[in-house]
Amino acid sequence: MKTLIVHAHPEPRSLNGSLKDLAVSTLESAGHEVRVSDLYAMGWKAVVDATDYGPAASSPLKVAHDSGRAFEAGTLTPDVLAEQEKLLWADTIVFQFPLWWYTMPAILKGWVDRVFTYRFAYGVGEHSDTKYGERYGEGTLAGKRALLSVTVGGPEAHYGARGINGPIDDLLFPIQHGILYYPGVDVLPPFVVHGADRLSEEDYATAAKAYEQRLLTLESTEPIAFRRQNFGDYELPSLRLRDGLEPAGRTGFGLHVRG
Residues that bind a second copy (CB under 8 A): 10-14, 40, 46-50, 60-64, 100-107, 109-110, 112-113, 116, 136, 153, 155, 157-158, 160-167, 170-171, 173-174, 177-179, 197, 229, 234, 237-241, 243, 249-256
250/258 with CB nearer a second copy:
250
32/194 with CB nearer a second copy:
194
**Residues contacting residue 232 through CB under 8 Å, at least 6 positions apart:** 242
Shortest reach from residue 196's CB to a second copy, in Å:
10
Shortest reach from residue 68's CB to a second copy, in Å:
12
Beta bridge partners of 7: 38, 96
Q: How far apart are CA 153 and CA 62, in angstroms?
A: 38
Instruction: Tell which residue, 165, 185, 169, 219, has the closest CA to residue 2.
Output: 219
50/208 with CB nearer a second copy:
50
| Cβ 226 vs Cβ 256: under 8 Å | yes
Give the DSSP H/E element, type plus range, for residue 145: strand 145-151
32/109 with CB nearer a second copy:
109
Q: How far apart are CA 3 and CA 26, in angstroms?
A: 12
Shortest reach from residue 257's CB to a second copy, in Å:
11
**Residues contacting residue 184 through CB under 8 Å, at least 6 positions apart:** 134, 135, 137, 138, 139, 140, 141, 142, 143, 144
Give the DSSP H/E element, type plus range, for residue 207: helix 201-216
Shortest reach from residue 227's CB to a second copy, in Å:
8
35/242 with CB nearer a second copy:
242
218/226 with CB nearer a second copy:
226
| Cβ 187 vs Cβ 140: under 8 Å | no
Q: How far apart are CA 31 and CA 233, in angstroms?
A: 39
Shortest reach from residue 103's CB to a second copy, in Å:
6
Shortest reach from residue 105's CB to a second copy, in Å:
6
23/39 with CB nearer a second copy:
39
Shortest reach from residue 228's CB to a second copy, in Å:
10
CA angle, residues 175, 178, 181, in degrees to nearest 5: 95
Q: Which is it for the CA torsion 12, 101, 163, 168, positive or negative?
A: negative
